[in-house]
Amino acid sequence: MTAVGDVRRRRIDELAARAGQVPEGEGGVSLTKSAFRRLRRNPVAITGAVIVVVFLVVAAFAPLLAPRDPLAQTLLGEIRPGFIPGAQEGFPLGADELGRDLLSRLIVGSRQSLLIGVVSTLLGVVVGMALGVLAGAFGGWVDTVVMRFIDIILSIPSLLMAISISVLLGQNQWSLVIAIAVTQVPVFARLLRGSMLAQRGSDYVLASQALGIKRSRIVFGHVLPNSLSPLIVQATLSLATAIIEAAALSFLGLGDPDLARPEWGAMLSNAQDFLSVRPELAIYPALCIIVVALGFTLLGESLREALDPKFRR
Amino acid sequence: MLRFVVRRLLQLIPILLGLSVLLFAWLRALPGGPAQAALGERATPEAIARYNELFGLDQPLYVQYLRFLGRAVQLDFGNSARTGRPVTQEFLERMPGTIELTLFAMVFAIGVGIPLGYLAARRHGSWLDSASVIGSLLGVAIPVFFLAYLLRLLFAVELGWLPGSGRQEVRIDATRITNFYVLDGLLTREWDAAWDAFTHLVLPGIALGTIPLAIIVRITRASVLDVVNEDYVRTANAKGLSTSTVRRRHVIRNALLPVATTIGLQTGLLLSGAVLTESVFAFGGVGSAIFDAIFARDFAVLQGFILILAVVYVLVNLLVDISYGLLDPRVRVR
């Protein structure tokens, strides 16, 4: 145990330890199945899932759904200082500060925002998992080295970390993705390590060892799959934070500079200058971010309840 | 207890060393390296060579690192490329503002959050409960800079009730002692200056306080709900203690344990991460400085500020751990 964020860490470990415990009376039903059953009965989970699915579908079919070209400055001629055209025939949400259709930009923007959120979380999960497996499976000095490294990363507040990385890598969408992913790596690594350690002494691991099964097979075939549930929960919740954090980095001028790709965070920060002229320019992208973040949070929280043996009835 | 604290302090050393390596590597890895970072993008090759020689950047890496470490220990992080002043001095001037803002935000978050979370748990399932759950979910989902803009637009620009930028009216000629503007005003008995500085804290403080508020409400509620079902509460009720005694001595006391931790962790985060809110309100604390440094590509300031803030964050976390040891004796044993 080290000094930094001990409590935060303990909480991660507690969550990890609960993973894969088989609750009383549910021995015969697989965790996935019973979790899924409980999710379907939970209105909060349904709400979250619906929100997430709707936005994913919109993002997937964005070019087909957008009524207009999100880059065409159709209404540019109508813009005067202190006036940006509002909703009108063919422009249900009006135009932005450059005369482009706001609705189309929001729809196409969902692609970029969700992509950044999903890719950065995936990257965080993959790297975090690799480190977590390394630490959790080998233990000993490998564990110590990996965990010290993780502690150091955890000791830098995540926004400052993301800022440093964005500044270092220059301004493009991949540096944005990496910056967000790096802040998530330590959480996933710690979570998985703790979760694997909790499995280490369990009967099935002892049995496999007694049978003389290779360590790699025990780790990847038995321990890892049983340790995944806290990771899944955290990944769902992290999708929300990743999207919000991407918006924050855009606001700090560290976002994607490519203007051909509309993105909610960038739209939101650009709109700040026109807030007194047309607050809708900021409100709509902000609403999109809030609703998507809410969707992932609701889904994540209900997943946590569904997968947590403590909440099983 | 003393051994516990000393052990924790010793464990800080490798973390701080690791941090310094990371930030050293960061500055080295920047495009153009530290010389370009310090001299700006239009520096001539000769100037860069001169700078490298002057600051020993032509030496082997480990020598450079040890020098960097030596200077960092003496809190010397070089000069700001923008203002030419020592980074440490800039930091010390700006930190009091951030501390004031953090205090305001946390007092707001705690003052509203704990009662709200407690009431929500007491009336589990009521409309108040649902509202606080939804509110706490929303509070985390709203991008904080957007909320800051909304508050500023509504209460400062449209209604004009509260000031929307800076730490104090420029026309107020206040005496500076500590750079804590509110405190200075109180110390020098310049009441209007203190009041003015205080009103400047309200909007950014509320914006900054929403996330901790949302988290505190949620943790308080969950924790009270947990404790109410504990055996010792049932025992206390069964032995006939009055409801208010049970609530005060058994429920609230135990329920606030995790809340105290959350408060500590959030305070650490706010002290180090008010970049977004501060820049919306042009507040002039540490956060605004980082915002300006990003745009000016002022790497000396970024490196110095991030290192100091990370140390502050680590120390606050350490305090939280120690206080947790004080509050909950079970932690010390392990």
Tens digits of per-residue pLDDT, B224-254? 888 888 888 888 888 888 888 888 888 888 8
Q: Residue A231: enclosing H or E segment and its boundaries?
A: helix A229-251
Residues of A in contact with B102 (CB under 8 A): none
**How close does chain B come to A10, measured CA to CA in Å?**
11
A228 CB neighbour count, 10 Å cutoff: 19
Element (H, E) at A185: helix A173-200
| Tokens standing for residue A189 | 């690594």
Q: Is the pLDDT of residue A269 over 80?
A: yes
Decide if B306 touches A, using CB distance below 8 A.
yes
Tens-place pLDDT, residues A194-231:
888 888 778 888 888 888 888 888 888 888 888 888 88
Which positions in chain A touch B298 (Cβ < 8 Å)?
Answer: none
Q: What does the pLDDT read at residue A292?
A: 92
Residue B136: closest CA among chain A residues belongs to which residue? A294
Q: How far is B69 from B17, CA to CA, in rounded Å? A: 9
Task: Provide the pLDDT for residue B333.
Answer: 52
Q: Check: CB of residue A269 under 8 Å from CB of residue A96.
A: no
Please indicate if any CB of chain A lies within 8 Å of the CB of B30.
Answer: yes
Least confident of A13-17, A58-62, A297-301, B92-96: A13-17
- Model pLDDT for residues B37-48, shown as the tens digit of each residue: 667 667 777 877
Residues in chain B with CB shorter than 8 Å from the CB of A160 are 272-273, 275, 290, 306, 309-310
Provide the token pair at A45. Answer: 């989970």
Of A148, A164, A251, which is closest to B145 when you measure between CB atoms? A251
- Contact (CB<8Å) A297/B141: yes
Query: What torsion do the CA atoms of A46, B227, B128, A306 make, to the nearest 10 degrees?
Result: 0
Is A180 part of the contact surface with chain B (CB cutoff 8 Å)?
Answer: no
Q: Which of A170, A252, A286 sits opposite B294 (nearest CB)?
A: A252
CB contact (8 A) between residue B15 and residue A297: no
> With an 8 Å Cβ cutoff, is B11 touching chain A?
yes
**Which pTM does this prediction carry?**
0.82
DSSP B242-309: -HHHIIIIIIIHHHHHHHHHHHHHHHHHHHHHTHHHHHHTT--SHHHHHHHHHHHT-HHHHHHHHHHH
Count CA atoms closer than 13 A to A188's CA, side-chain side: 29
Q: Where are the domains of chain B?
A: 2-73, 93-331
Contact status, residue B90 vs residue B83, Cβ threshold 8 Å: yes
Tell me whether residues A4 and B12 touch, CB distance under 8 A. Answer: yes
Whether residue B153 and residue A275 make contact (CB cut-off 8 A), yes or no, is: yes
Domain ranges of chain A: 37-73+94-311
d(CA A60, CA A118): 13
Q: According to the CATH classification, is domain A37-73+94-311 in 1.10.3720.10?
A: yes
Mark yes or no for CB contact B275/A294 under 8 Å: no
Give the position of tokens 């990370």. Answer: B310
Assign domain B93-331 to its CATH superfamily: MetI-like (1.10.3720.10)
What part of A 227-266 touches B (C-beta under 8 Å)? 240, 244, 247-248, 251-254, 265
Q: How far apart, in whole angstroms, are the C-alpha atoms of residue A155 and residue A183? A: 11
Residue B249, Cβ neighbours under 10 Å: how many? Answer: 12
Look at B26 and A157 and tell me if their CB atoms are within 8 Å. no
**Distance (Å) from the C-alpha of residue B305 to the closest C-alpha of chain A?**
10
Please list, in sequence order, all residues whose beta carbon lies within 8 angstroms of the beta carbon of residue B306, skipping any fewer than 6 positions away: A156, A160, A163, A164, B23, B290
In the numeric block, the tokens 């450059």 are attached to A98
Kindly identify which residue of chain B lies nearest to residue A281, measuring between CA atoms.
B146
Mark yes or no for CB contact B141/A294 under 8 Å: yes
Nearest chain B residue (CA) to A158: B273
Instruction: Find all residues with CB under 8 Å of B15, minimum gap 6, and list them.
Output: A2, A3, A4, A148, A151, A152, A155, B314
Whether residue B39 lies within 8 A of chain A, CB to CB, comes out as no
Cβ A155–B317 below 8 Å, yes or no?
Answer: yes
Q: Which residues of B touch A170 (CB under 8 A)?
A: 31
What ipTM describes this predicted complex? 0.81
Q: Identify the residue among B3, B130, B279, B321 best suited for mutation to test binding to A, counting A beta carbons within 10 A and taking the highest.
A: B321
pLDDT in tens, chain B (334 residues): 777 778 878 888 888 888 888 888 887 777 766 677 667 667 777 877 777 777 677 777 788 888 888 888 888 888 787 788 888 888 888 888 899 899 999 999 999 999 999 999 888 888 888 888 888 888 888 888 888 888 888 887 878 787 877 777 767 777 777 777 777 777 777 777 778 788 888 899 999 999 999 999 988 998 888 888 888 888 888 888 888 888 888 888 888 888 888 888 888 888 876 888 888 888 888 888 888 888 877 888 888 888 888 888 888 888 887 777 777 766 655 4
Least CA distance to A153: which residue of chain B? B19
Q: How far away is chain B from the Cα of A279, in angstroms, using its nearest Cα?
A: 9
Residue A76 pLDDT:
65
- Contact yes or no for B310 and A164 at CB 8 A: no
The Cα A249–Cα A175 span in angstroms is 11
Of A158, A160, A282, the CB nearest to B146: A282
Q: Does B8 lie at the interface with A, CB-CB under 8 angstroms?
A: yes
pLDDT at A27: 53
Those residues whose C-beta lies under 8 Å from the C-beta of residue A173, and which sit 6 or more positions away, are A112, A116, A256, A258, A261
**Three-class SS of residue A76?**
helix
Query: Any CB–CB contact under 8 A between A64 and chain B?
Result: no
pLDDT, position A121: 93
pLDDT confidence band for A19 (50 / 70 / 90) = low
Set of chain B residues whose Cβ sits within 8 Å of the Cβ of A290: 138, 141-143
Per DSSP, the three-state class of B107 is: helix
Reading the block at residue B190, the tokens are 């310049």
